[in-house]
Structure 1
Amino acid sequence: MVEEAPEGGYVARALGYSIFTESDSLDAIGERAKDAVRCHFDEDKVPRIIRLHFIREEIVAI
């Protein structure tokens, strides 16, 4: 799951695993997420595909 960080930039975290990373740009968060996943799993257990779900919160006045 990828969200905007309150202090700026983006944070990504895995659901169901202790994997977390952050980046200053949206363009770089995918590479950072791949690096974090590679570091978490043994070489023979690394998933071939990861999915990034981008969450964006908007406030709408009524």
Structure 2
Amino acid sequence: MTELIFIVEEAPEGGFVARSLGPSIFTEADTLAELPTKVRDAVRCHFEEGAAPKVVRLHHVREEVIAV
């Protein structure tokens, strides 16, 4: 695996959650600034030494409700 994609969303209780589209990897952060560090840590914990993907993409999804 050379690339891993995470979906990033705002958590209902505040902060942000990131979920991997491939392997079952999940992490949370209070701010967007600390999220990349949390994702790196989660990826390193999930994979054996040297088996982690070279690239991790964070795909930010924002849901917005509008009245019509």
TM tier relative to shorter chain: over 0.9
Q: Is 1:30 aligned to 2:36, yes or no?
A: yes
Unaligned ranges ≥5, structure 2 = 1-6
TM-score (norm 2): 0.86
Deviation at 1:19, TM superposition (A): 0.5
Q: Is 1:47 aligned to 2:53, yes or no?
A: yes
- Structure 1 moving runs of 4+ over 6 Å: none
Q: Percent sequence identity over matched residues?
A: 58
Structure 1 or 2: more helix by fraction: 1
Bigger RCO of structures 1 and 2 (CA < 8 A, at least 6 apart): 2
Unaligned ranges ≥5, structure 1 = none
Number of equivalenced pairs: 62
RMSD across aligned positions (CA): 0.7
Structure 1 or 2: more strand by fraction: 2
1:51 counterpart letter in structure 2: R
1:13 counterpart letter in structure 2: R
